[in-house]
Amino acid sequence: MPDSLGVEETDVTDGADGGGAPEVTTVHAGIIPLLDCAPLVVAAEFGFAEKHGLKLELSREQSWASIRDKVTIGHLDCAHMLGPMVVASTLGVGHVRTPLIAPMALGLNGNAITVSTALFERLQEQGLDDGDALSGARALKQVIEDDRKATRPPLTFGVVFPFSTHNYELRGWLAGGGINPDFDVRLVVIPPPLMVANLDQGLIDGFCVGAPWNAVAVEAGVGEIVVTKSRLWHNGPEKVLGVRQPWAEAHPRTLKALIRALVEAARWTEQPENRGAVAETLADRAYLDMDSGVLMRNMAGTLPRSLPGSTVKDPDFITFFRDHATFPWRSHAAWFTEQMIRWRQIDQDTDPCAVAERVYRPDIYRDAVRPLEISAPATDWKSEGTGPDHGRFFGNAVYEPNCPDA
């Protein structure tokens, strides 16, 4: 029977698969050329998929819309996907309704907000403070006010997709500085690999995108990183494994084998001694098609500044395994849904808790990783905010999921 979201109930937890070999051994998965596609690439290239009885065939796509469309029509079984996209597709927002689930995450952090070198200089003139995650937004507000007085056109910022962490992070950062994202600036959608070219040509003034494209902009001399996601939201959610619900329902053993392969690949990827091999593989034309040194530095959290030889060290810049980076927290899905409500993308009476419970599936994750003897959180929900237990969250803000089981 359909649930309150109009989606059929799915049971692919322990006991539903009956144990045994995967139902199918070939899995078709989509990726976007970003550093956090690494678990999928490593699983395919370094034997982790084969170890768990699978052949993982990867399809490189150029945009998130392409990923969504190919998953929708079944050309892909699953994909490296934006967390909010899984929610939006299940709700039928911005596209046809396609029930998806997220049985695991693919990492934490990795994004940054980058602006053109010209805009960065203007922010510095307004007192930009690297030690304050929201300082750049407050400086930007002064720039916007100056531009308005001079009747200049509004600044334009790129995001990767309307339903993305990048969109909500950029909006939250702007709002934290007193800027209305819908009236004071223009937000446009640009695929990640095209962000730097758009910035270079002056078509946009800044962007929020995942690694390695922020560093690429700096090393090309066309941009400067204002704030990283790890400074804005410590251990903030990022991409997930997005899976078509009918496929998950028909192939529960295959799905769990895939999760095990990806979790082991994520753990291997994060080990410092493996960074070179991972970077060289991702740098191949089949994947990111770029200098492996850029990827190595991003994995190590060494980010460039425009001043020659100058870098910023951010050890939490991107996380693949530690801090439960592969666990699909339902509180993350609830927050995404609340942002969709906040920015009027969905009906105001949508229940974030019901959405989170339908789309994010930590129950499947726990069943899948049990044979690996990997610890998984006992709860599906967590708070975000200040303090030693919760970390940074948009300055001094706190997020407490208001859900019955939270």
Rounded-to-integer distance, Cα 80 and Cα 87, Å: 14
pLDDT at residue 19, as a whole number: 67
Q: Identify the three-state secondary structure at position 366.
A: helix
Place of tokens 């698969």: 17
Rounded-to-integer distance, Cα 116 and Cα 6, Å: 44
* Boundaries of every domain in the chain: 26-108+236-310+318-372, 111-232
User: Does the pTM exceed 0.85?
Assistant: yes
Matching CATH number, 26-108+236-310+318-372, of 3.30.300.30, 3.90.1150.10, 3.40.190.10, 1.10.645.10? 3.40.190.10
Mean pLDDT of the chain: 93
Band of pLDDT at residue 188, cut at 50, 70 and 90: very high
| Residue 329: both structure tokens together | 């927290």
114-151 pLDDT, tens per residue? 999 999 999 999 999 988 999 999 999 999 999 999 99
Place of tokens 């045994």: 20
307-364 pLDDT, tens per residue? 766 788 999 999 999 999 999 999 999 999 999 999 999 999 999 999 999 999 999 9
The answer to whether 231 and 129 have CB atoms below 8 angstroms apart is: no
Query: Is the fold of 26-108+236-310+318-372 the same as that of 111-232?
Result: yes
Instruction: Count CA within 13 A, CB hemisphere, residue 368.
Output: 28
> Is the pLDDT at 193 greater than 50, yes or no?
yes
> Is the pLDDT at 12 greater than 60, yes or no?
no
Instruction: Count CA within 13 A, CB hemisphere, residue 211.
Output: 36
Q: Identify the three-state secondary structure at position 57.
A: strand
Edge to edge, the sheet with strand 206-210 lists 186-189, 156-159, 206-210, 111-116, 223-228
The interaxial angle of helices 275-282 and 38-45, nearest 10 deg, is 100
Rg of the chain taking only CA atoms, in angstroms: 20
353-406 pLDDT, tens per residue? 999 999 999 999 999 999 998 889 999 999 998 666 556 899 888 999 989 887
Fold of 111-232: D-Maltodextrin-Binding Protein; domain 2 (3.40.190)
Angle at 164 between CA 159 and CA 166, to 5 degrees: 50
Read off the amino acid at residue 288: L
209-265 pLDDT, tens per residue? 999 999 999 999 999 999 999 999 999 999 999 999 999 999 999 999 999 999 999
